[in-house]
Amino acid sequence: MRWISFEERLPNEEGDYLVYSHAGGHEVGKWTKEGWKVWTTDVFESLGWYRPDYPITHWMPLPEPPETKS
């Protein structure tokens, strides 16, 4: 997997991705038909998805979850 520039292309499907911005570092982002949203866990804000006030510059698919022994 590699980082994909926002200028190169956007995701083909809606869903969760790892995103990067110079202001926010890397975090989980959600791509929707309305654009990017990111998850906040800021204790001074309510938890949930919001539109960032900084530009997302790169994205990549989330890795597969680890295999666990049952």
Give 36-70 pLDDT, tens digit per residue: 887 666 656 666 666 767 788 899 999 888 988 87
As a whole number of angstroms, the distance between CA 15 and CA 56 comes to 15
The pLDDT of residue 11: 93
DSSP output for the chain: ---EETTT---SS-EEEEEEETTTEEEEEEEETTEEEEEE--TTS-SEEE--SS---EEEEPPPPPP---
Mean pLDDT across the chain: 82
Dihedral angle computed from the Cα positions of residues 52, 32, 26 and 21, in that order, rounded to the nearest 10 degrees: -50
